[in-house]
Amino acid sequence: MIRILEPGPQTTVQDLGRTGHLRSGIPPSGPMDVHAFVVANRLVGNPDGAAGLECTLMGPRFTVETPCAIAVTGAEVDVTVNDAAVPAWATVRLAAGDRVRVGAARAGVRAYVAVSGGLDVPLTLGSRATYLRGRMGGLDGRALRRDDVLPVGAAPLPVAGARPRLDVPTFEPEPVIRVVLGPQADRFTPAGIAALLGEAYEMLPQSDRMGARLRGPRIAHAAGHDIISDGIALGSIQVPGDGQPIVLLVDRQSTGGYTKVATVCSFDIGRIGQVRPGQRVRFQAVEVAEAHALRRQWQASLAAAVGGPVAAPPA
Amino acid sequence: MRFVPAGDLAVCVELGDEISVEVNTRVRALEYLVQQKGVRGVVETVPSFRSLLVYYDPDAVGLETLCDTLGDLAEQASAAVLPAPRTVELPCCYDPELGPDLEPAAARLGLAVDELVRLHAGAEYLVYFVGFTPGLPYMAGMPDRIQLPRLETPRVKVSAGSVGIGGMQCCIYSVESPGGYWLLGRTPVRLYDPGAPEPILLRPGDRVRLRPVDRATFERIGRAVEARTYRPVVVA
Protein backbone atom coordinates (compact mmCIF):
# COMPACT_ATOMS: atom_id res chain seq x y z
CA MET A 1 0.00 0.00 0.00
CA ILE A 2 1.02 3.61 -0.38
CA ARG A 3 0.68 6.39 2.17
CA ILE A 4 0.15 9.97 1.07
CA LEU A 5 2.43 12.50 2.79
CA GLU A 6 1.37 15.50 0.68
CA PRO A 7 -1.46 15.09 -1.83
CA GLY A 8 -0.81 17.96 -4.26
CA PRO A 9 -3.64 20.32 -5.26
CA GLN A 10 -5.83 17.72 -6.94
CA THR A 11 -4.67 14.14 -7.06
CA THR A 12 -7.34 11.53 -7.79
CA VAL A 13 -7.52 7.80 -8.32
CA GLN A 14 -8.46 7.03 -11.93
CA ASP A 15 -8.86 3.96 -14.11
CA LEU A 16 -10.17 3.94 -17.69
CA GLY A 17 -13.57 5.04 -16.40
CA ARG A 18 -17.13 3.71 -16.15
CA THR A 19 -19.19 3.00 -19.23
CA GLY A 20 -22.94 2.83 -19.62
CA HIS A 21 -24.08 5.36 -17.02
CA LEU A 22 -24.25 8.57 -19.04
CA ARG A 23 -27.94 7.72 -19.54
CA SER A 24 -28.27 8.18 -15.77
CA GLY A 25 -26.24 11.38 -15.80
CA ILE A 26 -23.03 9.77 -14.55
CA PRO A 27 -19.99 10.64 -16.69
CA PRO A 28 -17.21 8.15 -17.48
CA SER A 29 -14.45 10.02 -15.59
CA GLY A 30 -11.04 8.35 -16.05
CA PRO A 31 -7.77 10.00 -17.07
CA MET A 32 -7.82 13.14 -19.19
CA ASP A 33 -4.68 11.94 -21.01
CA VAL A 34 -5.39 8.29 -21.82
CA HIS A 35 -2.13 7.87 -23.75
CA ALA A 36 0.07 8.85 -20.80
CA PHE A 37 -2.08 6.85 -18.38
CA VAL A 38 -1.88 3.64 -20.42
CA VAL A 39 1.88 3.99 -20.98
CA ALA A 40 2.38 4.34 -17.21
CA ASN A 41 0.39 1.16 -16.56
CA ARG A 42 2.23 -0.82 -19.21
CA LEU A 43 5.59 0.32 -17.81
CA VAL A 44 4.79 -1.36 -14.52
CA GLY A 45 3.26 -4.47 -16.07
CA ASN A 46 -0.34 -3.57 -15.29
CA PRO A 47 -3.37 -4.09 -17.49
CA ASP A 48 -4.21 -0.80 -19.27
CA GLY A 49 -7.20 -0.23 -17.02
CA ALA A 50 -5.48 -0.66 -13.64
CA ALA A 51 -6.15 2.24 -11.26
CA GLY A 52 -3.42 4.84 -10.82
CA LEU A 53 -3.14 8.49 -9.83
CA GLU A 54 -3.88 11.57 -11.87
CA CYS A 55 -2.03 14.62 -10.51
CA THR A 56 -2.89 18.19 -11.44
CA LEU A 57 -0.09 20.77 -11.89
CA MET A 58 1.76 19.42 -8.84
CA GLY A 59 2.31 15.84 -7.80
CA PRO A 60 2.09 14.14 -4.42
CA ARG A 61 4.68 12.93 -1.96
CA PHE A 62 4.09 9.39 -0.74
CA THR A 63 5.79 6.37 0.74
CA VAL A 64 5.35 2.78 -0.32
CA GLU A 65 4.97 0.19 2.39
CA THR A 66 5.71 -2.84 0.24
CA PRO A 67 8.19 -3.42 -2.61
CA CYS A 68 6.64 -2.38 -5.93
CA ALA A 69 7.38 -0.58 -9.17
CA ILE A 70 6.05 2.79 -10.27
CA ALA A 71 6.09 4.81 -13.47
CA VAL A 72 5.35 8.53 -13.83
CA THR A 73 4.17 9.85 -17.21
CA GLY A 74 2.17 12.77 -18.60
CA ALA A 75 3.14 16.31 -17.67
CA GLU A 76 6.86 17.10 -17.46
CA VAL A 77 7.75 16.67 -13.78
CA ASP A 78 10.77 15.87 -11.66
CA VAL A 79 10.51 12.61 -9.78
CA THR A 80 12.68 11.70 -6.81
CA VAL A 81 12.96 8.59 -4.68
CA ASN A 82 14.47 9.26 -1.25
CA ASP A 83 15.53 12.67 -2.68
CA ALA A 84 17.49 11.15 -5.58
CA ALA A 85 16.28 11.93 -9.10
CA VAL A 86 14.77 9.05 -11.08
CA PRO A 87 13.53 9.16 -14.70
CA ALA A 88 9.93 9.75 -15.71
CA TRP A 89 8.43 7.58 -18.48
CA ALA A 90 10.36 4.65 -17.03
CA THR A 91 9.90 1.74 -14.66
CA VAL A 92 11.25 2.52 -11.20
CA ARG A 93 11.56 -0.23 -8.61
CA LEU A 94 10.91 0.70 -5.01
CA ALA A 95 11.69 -0.96 -1.70
CA ALA A 96 9.41 -0.84 1.32
CA GLY A 97 9.71 2.55 3.00
CA ASP A 98 10.91 4.45 -0.09
CA ARG A 99 9.73 8.05 -0.29
CA VAL A 100 8.58 9.30 -3.68
CA ARG A 101 8.08 12.91 -4.69
CA VAL A 102 6.39 13.95 -7.93
CA GLY A 103 7.15 17.62 -8.48
CA ALA A 104 5.47 20.56 -10.17
CA ALA A 105 4.60 20.33 -13.87
CA ARG A 106 7.04 22.36 -15.97
CA ALA A 107 5.05 21.61 -19.11
CA GLY A 108 1.63 20.04 -19.37
CA VAL A 109 -0.87 19.85 -16.52
CA ARG A 110 -1.56 16.23 -15.62
CA ALA A 111 0.98 13.65 -14.55
CA TYR A 112 0.13 9.99 -14.00
CA VAL A 113 1.54 7.62 -11.43
CA ALA A 114 1.05 3.90 -12.02
CA VAL A 115 1.89 1.40 -9.30
CA SER A 116 2.49 -2.28 -10.10
CA GLY A 117 -0.59 -4.20 -9.06
CA GLY A 118 -2.80 -1.12 -9.42
CA LEU A 119 -4.53 0.85 -6.67
CA ASP A 120 -7.05 -1.45 -5.09
CA VAL A 121 -9.86 0.90 -4.04
CA PRO A 122 -13.42 -0.48 -4.23
CA LEU A 123 -15.26 -0.60 -7.55
CA THR A 124 -18.23 1.70 -7.98
CA LEU A 125 -20.42 0.83 -10.98
CA GLY A 126 -17.59 -1.28 -12.30
CA SER A 127 -14.85 1.35 -12.05
CA ARG A 128 -12.36 2.83 -9.59
CA ALA A 129 -12.33 6.22 -11.32
CA THR A 130 -13.03 9.28 -9.18
CA TYR A 131 -15.93 11.49 -10.22
CA LEU A 132 -15.36 14.51 -8.01
CA ARG A 133 -18.61 16.44 -8.53
CA GLY A 134 -20.64 13.28 -7.97
CA ARG A 135 -18.51 12.21 -4.98
CA MET A 136 -18.24 8.79 -6.58
CA GLY A 137 -15.46 6.23 -6.94
CA GLY A 138 -11.76 6.54 -6.12
CA LEU A 139 -11.14 7.10 -2.44
CA ASP A 140 -14.52 8.15 -0.96
CA GLY A 141 -15.28 10.06 -4.16
CA ARG A 142 -12.76 12.80 -3.39
CA ALA A 143 -9.25 14.02 -4.16
CA LEU A 144 -6.48 12.58 -1.98
CA ARG A 145 -5.56 14.09 1.37
CA ARG A 146 -2.56 13.86 3.62
CA ASP A 147 -2.35 10.50 5.47
CA ASP A 148 -4.61 8.70 3.01
CA VAL A 149 -3.64 5.08 2.59
CA LEU A 150 -4.23 3.37 -0.75
CA PRO A 151 -4.14 -0.43 -0.98
CA VAL A 152 -2.18 -1.86 -3.89
CA GLY A 153 -2.99 -5.12 -5.64
CA ALA A 154 -0.51 -7.98 -5.61
CA ALA A 155 1.59 -8.27 -8.78
CA PRO A 156 4.98 -9.52 -9.91
CA LEU A 157 7.62 -6.79 -10.05
CA PRO A 158 8.50 -5.61 -13.55
CA VAL A 159 12.10 -5.03 -14.64
CA ALA A 160 13.40 -1.58 -13.75
CA GLY A 161 14.38 0.90 -16.41
CA ALA A 162 12.00 -0.22 -19.14
CA ARG A 163 11.14 2.72 -21.37
CA PRO A 164 8.66 3.20 -24.14
CA ARG A 165 10.27 2.78 -27.53
CA LEU A 166 8.92 6.01 -28.96
CA ASP A 167 10.08 9.41 -27.85
CA VAL A 168 8.32 10.89 -24.89
CA PRO A 169 5.60 13.27 -26.16
CA THR A 170 6.60 16.91 -26.16
CA PHE A 171 4.29 19.76 -25.28
CA GLU A 172 3.86 22.28 -28.06
CA PRO A 173 3.43 25.94 -27.16
CA GLU A 174 0.28 26.27 -29.27
CA PRO A 175 -1.16 22.83 -30.03
CA VAL A 176 -3.51 22.29 -32.94
CA ILE A 177 -6.54 20.33 -31.77
CA ARG A 178 -8.49 18.34 -34.36
CA VAL A 179 -12.30 18.67 -34.30
CA VAL A 180 -15.25 17.35 -36.26
CA LEU A 181 -17.71 20.19 -36.93
CA GLY A 182 -21.17 19.75 -35.42
CA PRO A 183 -23.57 18.57 -34.12
CA GLN A 184 -24.90 22.15 -34.28
CA ALA A 185 -22.39 23.88 -36.57
CA ASP A 186 -25.37 25.06 -38.64
CA ARG A 187 -26.47 27.25 -35.73
CA PHE A 188 -23.41 29.51 -36.12
CA THR A 189 -22.54 32.24 -38.62
CA PRO A 190 -19.82 31.60 -41.22
CA ALA A 191 -17.77 34.25 -39.40
CA GLY A 192 -18.27 32.35 -36.13
CA ILE A 193 -17.00 29.10 -37.65
CA ALA A 194 -14.12 31.00 -39.30
CA ALA A 195 -13.14 32.38 -35.89
CA LEU A 196 -13.15 28.91 -34.31
CA LEU A 197 -10.97 27.47 -37.07
CA GLY A 198 -8.79 30.51 -37.74
CA GLU A 199 -8.04 32.12 -34.39
CA ALA A 200 -6.23 31.05 -31.24
CA TYR A 201 -8.10 30.45 -27.97
CA GLU A 202 -6.60 30.84 -24.52
CA MET A 203 -7.10 28.25 -21.78
CA LEU A 204 -8.69 29.79 -18.68
CA PRO A 205 -7.72 28.84 -15.13
CA GLN A 206 -11.27 27.81 -14.17
CA SER A 207 -10.96 24.79 -16.49
CA ASP A 208 -11.27 21.38 -14.90
CA ARG A 209 -12.05 17.75 -15.66
CA MET A 210 -15.63 18.69 -16.51
CA GLY A 211 -14.77 21.30 -19.09
CA ALA A 212 -11.95 23.35 -20.57
CA ARG A 213 -13.02 26.97 -20.66
CA LEU A 214 -11.39 28.99 -23.42
CA ARG A 215 -11.34 32.67 -24.32
CA GLY A 216 -10.91 34.19 -27.74
CA PRO A 217 -12.72 35.81 -30.67
CA ARG A 218 -16.46 35.37 -30.41
CA ILE A 219 -17.94 32.30 -32.07
CA ALA A 220 -21.12 34.01 -33.21
CA HIS A 221 -24.48 32.27 -33.29
CA ALA A 222 -26.72 32.61 -36.32
CA ALA A 223 -29.94 32.31 -34.34
CA GLY A 224 -29.91 31.82 -30.60
CA HIS A 225 -27.67 29.79 -28.37
CA ASP A 226 -30.29 27.50 -26.87
CA ILE A 227 -31.33 24.16 -28.28
CA ILE A 228 -33.64 21.46 -26.99
CA SER A 229 -31.37 19.79 -24.41
CA ASP A 230 -29.59 16.76 -25.80
CA GLY A 231 -26.65 14.45 -25.15
CA ILE A 232 -23.14 15.90 -24.88
CA ALA A 233 -20.38 13.81 -26.46
CA LEU A 234 -16.82 13.67 -25.16
CA GLY A 235 -15.07 16.75 -26.55
CA SER A 236 -18.23 18.71 -27.42
CA ILE A 237 -17.41 22.39 -27.81
CA GLN A 238 -20.37 24.12 -26.23
CA VAL A 239 -20.85 27.80 -26.98
CA PRO A 240 -23.19 29.72 -24.67
CA GLY A 241 -24.50 33.19 -25.43
CA ASP A 242 -21.17 34.91 -24.79
CA GLY A 243 -19.63 33.15 -27.81
CA GLN A 244 -16.79 31.64 -25.77
CA PRO A 245 -16.10 27.91 -26.18
CA ILE A 246 -16.17 25.28 -23.43
CA VAL A 247 -14.75 21.85 -24.36
CA LEU A 248 -16.61 19.22 -22.35
CA LEU A 249 -14.41 16.49 -20.99
CA VAL A 250 -14.37 13.27 -18.98
CA ASP A 251 -16.43 14.53 -16.00
CA ARG A 252 -18.92 16.39 -18.22
CA GLN A 253 -22.64 16.79 -17.71
CA SER A 254 -24.42 14.13 -19.80
CA THR A 255 -26.88 16.52 -21.44
CA GLY A 256 -27.24 20.23 -21.97
CA GLY A 257 -29.12 22.92 -23.82
CA TYR A 258 -26.39 25.06 -25.38
CA THR A 259 -25.35 24.79 -29.01
CA LYS A 260 -22.27 22.69 -29.74
CA VAL A 261 -20.27 24.00 -32.65
CA ALA A 262 -17.81 21.12 -32.98
CA THR A 263 -16.42 18.09 -31.17
CA VAL A 264 -12.77 17.56 -30.26
CA CYS A 265 -11.54 14.20 -31.59
CA SER A 266 -10.97 11.43 -29.04
CA PHE A 267 -7.21 11.28 -29.73
CA ASP A 268 -6.80 15.00 -28.95
CA ILE A 269 -8.69 14.99 -25.63
CA GLY A 270 -5.46 14.12 -23.81
CA ARG A 271 -3.62 16.92 -25.58
CA ILE A 272 -6.21 19.51 -24.59
CA GLY A 273 -6.06 18.13 -21.05
CA GLN A 274 -2.37 19.04 -20.97
CA VAL A 275 -2.84 22.68 -22.05
CA ARG A 276 -1.93 25.03 -19.23
CA PRO A 277 -3.97 28.05 -18.19
CA GLY A 278 -2.79 31.01 -20.25
CA GLN A 279 -1.58 28.78 -23.07
CA ARG A 280 -3.35 29.01 -26.44
CA VAL A 281 -4.73 26.36 -28.76
CA ARG A 282 -5.94 26.32 -32.34
CA PHE A 283 -8.67 24.15 -33.81
CA GLN A 284 -8.55 22.35 -37.13
CA ALA A 285 -11.58 20.68 -38.72
CA VAL A 286 -11.39 17.11 -40.04
CA GLU A 287 -14.09 14.89 -41.56
CA VAL A 288 -15.29 11.86 -39.58
CA ALA A 289 -13.53 9.38 -41.89
CA GLU A 290 -10.26 11.26 -41.50
CA ALA A 291 -10.76 11.36 -37.74
CA HIS A 292 -11.19 7.57 -37.71
CA ALA A 293 -7.95 7.16 -39.68
CA LEU A 294 -6.14 9.51 -37.29
CA ARG A 295 -7.53 7.56 -34.35
CA ARG A 296 -6.11 4.33 -35.77
CA GLN A 297 -2.71 6.02 -36.12
CA TRP A 298 -2.95 7.18 -32.52
CA GLN A 299 -3.80 3.65 -31.37
CA ALA A 300 -0.87 2.26 -33.39
CA SER A 301 1.53 4.81 -31.87
CA LEU A 302 0.34 3.83 -28.42
CA ALA A 303 0.88 0.15 -29.19
CA ALA A 304 4.34 0.92 -30.57
CA ALA A 305 5.24 3.10 -27.60
CA VAL A 306 4.94 0.23 -25.18
CA GLY A 307 4.48 -2.75 -27.43
CA GLY A 308 7.88 -4.20 -26.60
CA PRO A 309 8.85 -6.33 -23.63
CA VAL A 310 8.57 -3.41 -21.24
CA ALA A 311 7.00 -5.39 -18.48
CA ALA A 312 8.79 -8.70 -18.44
CA PRO A 313 8.33 -10.81 -15.31
CA PRO A 314 11.06 -10.46 -12.70
CA ALA A 315 14.34 -12.18 -13.44
CA MET B 1 -34.76 11.58 -38.98
CA ARG B 2 -31.25 12.98 -39.06
CA PHE B 3 -27.86 11.50 -38.16
CA VAL B 4 -25.37 14.11 -36.99
CA PRO B 5 -21.82 13.12 -36.08
CA ALA B 6 -20.65 14.29 -32.66
CA GLY B 7 -16.92 13.75 -33.05
CA ASP B 8 -15.27 10.44 -33.95
CA LEU B 9 -16.94 8.30 -31.28
CA ALA B 10 -20.59 9.37 -31.24
CA VAL B 11 -23.50 10.09 -33.53
CA CYS B 12 -26.67 11.93 -32.61
CA VAL B 13 -29.87 10.41 -34.00
CA GLU B 14 -32.48 13.18 -34.14
CA LEU B 15 -36.04 11.92 -34.33
CA GLY B 16 -37.81 15.27 -34.28
CA ASP B 17 -37.46 18.90 -33.39
CA GLU B 18 -39.88 19.33 -30.51
CA ILE B 19 -40.46 18.43 -26.90
CA SER B 20 -43.36 16.02 -27.01
CA VAL B 21 -44.35 12.70 -25.51
CA GLU B 22 -44.59 11.24 -29.04
CA VAL B 23 -41.05 12.12 -30.14
CA ASN B 24 -39.53 11.25 -26.77
CA THR B 25 -41.32 7.89 -26.74
CA ARG B 26 -39.73 7.05 -30.10
CA VAL B 27 -36.32 8.06 -28.71
CA ARG B 28 -36.75 5.73 -25.73
CA ALA B 29 -38.10 2.97 -27.96
CA LEU B 30 -35.07 3.30 -30.26
CA GLU B 31 -32.75 3.06 -27.27
CA TYR B 32 -34.62 0.00 -26.03
CA LEU B 33 -34.34 -1.69 -29.43
CA VAL B 34 -30.61 -0.89 -29.61
CA GLN B 35 -30.16 -2.49 -26.18
CA GLN B 36 -32.32 -5.51 -27.04
CA LYS B 37 -30.62 -6.20 -30.37
CA GLY B 38 -27.14 -5.66 -28.97
CA VAL B 39 -26.22 -3.57 -32.04
CA ARG B 40 -22.60 -4.23 -32.97
CA GLY B 41 -20.18 -1.46 -32.05
CA VAL B 42 -22.57 0.47 -29.79
CA VAL B 43 -20.80 1.45 -26.55
CA GLU B 44 -23.54 3.38 -24.79
CA THR B 45 -26.59 5.52 -25.46
CA VAL B 46 -27.98 8.73 -24.01
CA PRO B 47 -31.65 9.50 -24.66
CA SER B 48 -32.93 13.06 -24.41
CA PHE B 49 -36.10 14.88 -25.48
CA ARG B 50 -35.86 14.33 -29.21
CA SER B 51 -32.60 12.52 -29.91
CA LEU B 52 -30.52 9.53 -28.99
CA LEU B 53 -26.77 10.07 -28.68
CA VAL B 54 -25.08 6.81 -29.64
CA TYR B 55 -21.46 6.28 -28.58
CA TYR B 56 -19.76 3.71 -30.80
CA ASP B 57 -16.44 2.00 -31.32
CA PRO B 58 -15.20 2.83 -34.84
CA ASP B 59 -12.96 -0.27 -34.71
CA ALA B 60 -16.08 -2.44 -34.43
CA VAL B 61 -18.48 -0.68 -36.80
CA GLY B 62 -18.34 1.93 -39.55
CA LEU B 63 -20.46 5.04 -39.18
CA GLU B 64 -22.49 4.33 -42.34
CA THR B 65 -23.29 0.76 -41.34
CA LEU B 66 -24.23 1.91 -37.86
CA CYS B 67 -26.53 4.63 -39.20
CA ASP B 68 -28.20 2.11 -41.55
CA THR B 69 -28.89 -0.20 -38.62
CA LEU B 70 -30.13 2.62 -36.41
CA GLY B 71 -32.32 3.90 -39.24
CA ASP B 72 -33.95 0.48 -39.61
CA LEU B 73 -34.55 0.25 -35.87
CA ALA B 74 -35.95 3.79 -35.76
CA GLU B 75 -38.68 2.66 -38.21
CA GLN B 76 -39.85 0.15 -35.61
CA ALA B 77 -39.41 2.49 -32.66
CA SER B 78 -42.81 3.15 -31.12
CA ALA B 79 -44.56 2.87 -27.78
CA ALA B 80 -45.57 -0.68 -28.71
CA VAL B 81 -42.04 -2.04 -28.36
CA LEU B 82 -41.43 -0.58 -24.89
CA PRO B 83 -42.00 -2.66 -21.76
CA ALA B 84 -44.70 -1.44 -19.37
CA PRO B 85 -43.40 1.57 -17.43
CA ARG B 86 -42.67 1.59 -13.71
CA THR B 87 -44.47 4.01 -11.45
CA VAL B 88 -42.41 5.54 -8.67
CA GLU B 89 -44.10 7.34 -5.80
CA LEU B 90 -42.08 10.06 -4.12
CA PRO B 91 -43.12 11.83 -0.93
CA CYS B 92 -42.99 15.61 -1.37
CA CYS B 93 -43.28 18.21 1.35
CA TYR B 94 -44.88 21.42 0.06
CA ASP B 95 -43.65 23.71 2.82
CA PRO B 96 -42.59 27.31 2.11
CA GLU B 97 -39.30 26.65 3.92
CA LEU B 98 -38.50 23.75 1.62
CA GLY B 99 -40.19 25.21 -1.42
CA PRO B 100 -39.39 28.91 -1.19
CA ASP B 101 -41.22 29.73 -4.45
CA LEU B 102 -44.46 28.03 -3.45
CA GLU B 103 -46.18 31.26 -2.35
CA PRO B 104 -44.75 33.54 -5.09
CA ALA B 105 -45.65 30.93 -7.74
CA ALA B 106 -49.21 30.64 -6.44
CA ALA B 107 -49.54 34.44 -6.41
CA ARG B 108 -48.16 34.72 -9.94
CA LEU B 109 -50.59 32.04 -11.15
CA GLY B 110 -53.51 33.60 -9.28
CA LEU B 111 -54.08 30.41 -7.31
CA ALA B 112 -54.37 29.61 -3.63
CA VAL B 113 -51.31 27.73 -2.37
CA ASP B 114 -53.45 24.67 -1.60
CA GLU B 115 -54.82 24.68 -5.13
CA LEU B 116 -51.33 24.87 -6.65
CA VAL B 117 -50.23 21.95 -4.48
CA ARG B 118 -53.32 19.97 -5.44
CA LEU B 119 -52.71 20.56 -9.16
CA HIS B 120 -48.98 19.88 -8.94
CA ALA B 121 -49.26 16.74 -6.82
CA GLY B 122 -52.28 15.49 -8.74
CA ALA B 123 -50.37 15.03 -11.98
CA GLU B 124 -48.58 11.95 -13.21
CA TYR B 125 -45.15 12.81 -14.55
CA LEU B 126 -43.26 11.09 -17.34
CA VAL B 127 -39.46 10.93 -17.05
CA TYR B 128 -38.39 11.96 -20.56
CA PHE B 129 -34.77 11.33 -19.71
CA VAL B 130 -32.27 11.51 -16.87
CA GLY B 131 -29.25 13.72 -17.08
CA PHE B 132 -27.31 16.90 -16.62
CA THR B 133 -26.41 15.90 -13.06
CA PRO B 134 -26.50 12.27 -11.88
CA GLY B 135 -30.06 11.01 -11.55
CA LEU B 136 -31.85 14.27 -12.38
CA PRO B 137 -35.17 13.53 -14.14
CA TYR B 138 -36.49 15.79 -16.90
CA MET B 139 -40.23 15.36 -16.39
CA ALA B 140 -43.43 16.73 -17.84
CA GLY B 141 -47.10 16.10 -17.25
CA MET B 142 -48.27 19.14 -15.33
CA PRO B 143 -51.58 20.80 -16.13
CA ASP B 144 -51.12 23.86 -18.39
CA ARG B 145 -52.76 25.91 -15.65
CA ILE B 146 -49.55 25.88 -13.53
CA GLN B 147 -46.94 26.62 -16.19
CA LEU B 148 -44.57 29.49 -15.47
CA PRO B 149 -41.50 30.74 -17.30
CA ARG B 150 -38.26 29.89 -15.53
CA LEU B 151 -36.88 32.25 -12.91
CA GLU B 152 -35.27 35.34 -14.40
CA THR B 153 -32.33 35.02 -12.03
CA PRO B 154 -31.39 31.41 -11.36
CA ARG B 155 -30.42 30.49 -7.81
CA VAL B 156 -26.75 29.81 -7.19
CA LYS B 157 -27.55 26.93 -4.87
CA VAL B 158 -30.56 24.62 -4.83
CA SER B 159 -30.71 21.77 -2.31
CA ALA B 160 -30.83 18.18 -3.49
CA GLY B 161 -34.40 16.86 -3.50
CA SER B 162 -35.90 20.25 -4.37
CA VAL B 163 -38.95 19.92 -6.62
CA GLY B 164 -39.30 22.74 -9.12
CA ILE B 165 -41.32 23.81 -12.12
CA GLY B 166 -40.41 25.84 -15.19
CA GLY B 167 -42.20 25.99 -18.53
CA MET B 168 -43.94 22.66 -19.09
CA GLN B 169 -41.35 20.85 -17.04
CA CYS B 170 -41.05 19.58 -13.53
CA CYS B 171 -37.63 18.77 -12.17
CA ILE B 172 -36.24 17.23 -9.02
CA TYR B 173 -32.68 18.34 -8.25
CA SER B 174 -30.56 15.26 -7.62
CA VAL B 175 -27.53 17.02 -6.16
CA GLU B 176 -26.99 20.50 -4.79
CA SER B 177 -26.53 22.69 -7.86
CA PRO B 178 -27.50 26.04 -9.37
CA GLY B 179 -31.06 26.12 -10.70
CA GLY B 180 -33.66 28.25 -12.44
CA TYR B 181 -36.90 26.47 -11.59
CA TRP B 182 -39.61 27.68 -9.18
CA LEU B 183 -39.13 25.56 -6.07
CA LEU B 184 -42.43 24.27 -4.72
CA GLY B 185 -41.30 21.63 -2.26
CA ARG B 186 -38.78 18.95 -1.51
CA THR B 187 -38.60 15.18 -1.44
CA PRO B 188 -36.56 13.49 1.28
CA VAL B 189 -35.77 10.64 -1.12
CA ARG B 190 -32.33 10.62 -2.72
CA LEU B 191 -32.39 10.41 -6.49
CA TYR B 192 -28.62 9.96 -6.44
CA ASP B 193 -26.70 8.14 -3.74
CA PRO B 194 -23.11 7.53 -4.85
CA GLY B 195 -22.49 4.96 -2.10
CA ALA B 196 -25.55 2.80 -2.81
CA PRO B 197 -25.34 -0.39 -4.90
CA GLU B 198 -27.79 1.24 -7.32
CA PRO B 199 -26.92 4.94 -7.09
CA ILE B 200 -29.66 6.15 -9.43
CA LEU B 201 -33.38 5.90 -8.59
CA LEU B 202 -35.21 7.06 -11.70
CA ARG B 203 -34.93 5.83 -15.28
CA PRO B 204 -36.09 7.24 -18.59
CA GLY B 205 -39.73 6.26 -19.14
CA ASP B 206 -40.63 6.00 -15.45
CA ARG B 207 -43.91 7.52 -14.29
CA VAL B 208 -43.56 9.60 -11.14
CA ARG B 209 -46.26 10.49 -8.63
CA LEU B 210 -45.70 12.99 -5.86
CA ARG B 211 -47.41 12.25 -2.55
CA PRO B 212 -47.80 15.36 -0.35
CA VAL B 213 -46.45 14.80 3.15
CA ASP B 214 -46.28 17.10 6.16
CA ARG B 215 -43.06 18.38 7.64
CA ALA B 216 -42.89 15.74 10.38
CA THR B 217 -43.27 12.94 7.84
CA PHE B 218 -40.66 14.59 5.63
CA GLU B 219 -38.19 14.62 8.55
CA ARG B 220 -39.03 11.04 9.53
CA ILE B 221 -38.54 9.72 5.98
CA GLY B 222 -35.35 11.80 5.75
CA ARG B 223 -33.93 9.95 8.76
CA ALA B 224 -34.90 6.59 7.26
CA VAL B 225 -33.24 7.59 3.97
CA GLU B 226 -30.13 8.54 5.93
CA ALA B 227 -30.16 5.12 7.62
CA ARG B 228 -30.76 3.46 4.23
CA THR B 229 -33.94 1.82 5.53
CA TYR B 230 -36.38 3.73 3.31
CA ARG B 231 -37.50 2.32 -0.03
CA PRO B 232 -39.76 4.42 -2.22
CA VAL B 233 -42.83 2.70 -3.60
CA VAL B 234 -42.05 1.38 -7.07
CA VAL B 235 -44.81 -0.33 -9.01
CA ALA B 236 -43.38 -2.30 -11.89
Instruction: Enumerate the domain spans of chain A.
Output: 2-166, 176-301
The chain A residue lying nearest B136, using CA atoms, is A25
- Both B19 and B65 in one domain: the answer is yes
Ordered mean pLDDT values, 10 residues apiece, chain B (236 residues): 97 96 98 97 97 98 98 97 96 97 97 97 97 95 92 88 94 91 97 93 97 98 95 89
- Both B50 and B103 in one domain: the answer is no
The domain that holds B154 is classified in CATH as 2.40.100.10
Spatial strand order in the sheet of B2-5 = B2-5, B10-14, B51-56, B42-47
- Both B113 and B217 in one domain: the answer is yes
- Both B227 and B138 in one domain: the answer is yes
Task: Indicate yes or no: CB of B7 within 8 angstroms of CB of A136.
Answer: no
So what's the ipTM on this one?
A: 0.94
CATH number of A176-301: 2.40.100.10
- Both B115 and B74 in one domain: the answer is no
pLDDT confidence tier of residue A309, bands split at 50, 70 and 90: very low
pLDDT in tens, B100-151: 999 999 999 999 999 999 999 999 999 999 998 999 999 999 999 999 988 8
pLDDT in tens, A44-56: 999 999 999 999 9
pLDDT recorded at residue B156? 86
The domain that holds B60 is classified in CATH as 3.30.1360.40
pLDDT beyond 90 at A97:
yes
- Both B194 and B116 in one domain: the answer is yes
Q: Does B23 touch chain A (CB under 8 A)?
A: no
pLDDT confidence tier of residue A307, bands split at 50, 70 and 90: low
Q: Which of B81, B116, B132 is the last residue of a domain?
A: B81
Nearest to B134 among A26, A264, A296 (CB): A26
| Cα angle: A168, vertex A170, A171; to 5 degrees | 145
Q: Which of B17, B50, B81 is the last residue of a domain?
A: B81
pLDDT confidence tier of residue A313, bands split at 50, 70 and 90: very low
Task: Indicate yes or no: CB of B131 within 8 angstroms of CB of A25.
Answer: yes
Q: Does A182 touch chain B (CB under 8 A)?
A: yes
Q: Which residues contact B227 (CB under 8 A, 6 or more apart)?
A: none
Q: Does B53 touch chain A (CB under 8 A)?
A: yes
pLDDT in tens, A261-270: 999 999 999 9
- Both B161 and B231 in one domain: the answer is yes
- Both B76 and B117 in one domain: the answer is no
CA distance B44 to chain A (A): 5
Q: B200 lies in which domain range?
A: 87-235
pLDDT recorded at residue A310? 38
Q: Which of B55, B81, B107 is the last residue of a domain?
A: B81
- Both B68 and B185 in one domain: the answer is no
Buried b (16+ CB within 10 A) or exposed e, B190-225: bbbbbeeeebbbbbbbbbbbbebbeeeebeebbeeb
Q: Centre a 10 Å sphere on the Cβ of residue A314 and count the other Cβ atoms it contains.
A: 11
pLDDT beyond 70 at A304:
yes
- Both B50 and B167 in one domain: the answer is no
Q: Does B45 touch chain A (CB under 8 A)?
A: yes
User: Which residue in B2, B8, B43 has the most chain A C-beta atoms within 10 A of its own C-beta, making it the best mutation to test that interface?
Assistant: B8
Task: Indicate yes or no: CB of B135 within 8 angstroms of CB of A263.
Answer: no
How many domains does the structure of chain B reveal?
2
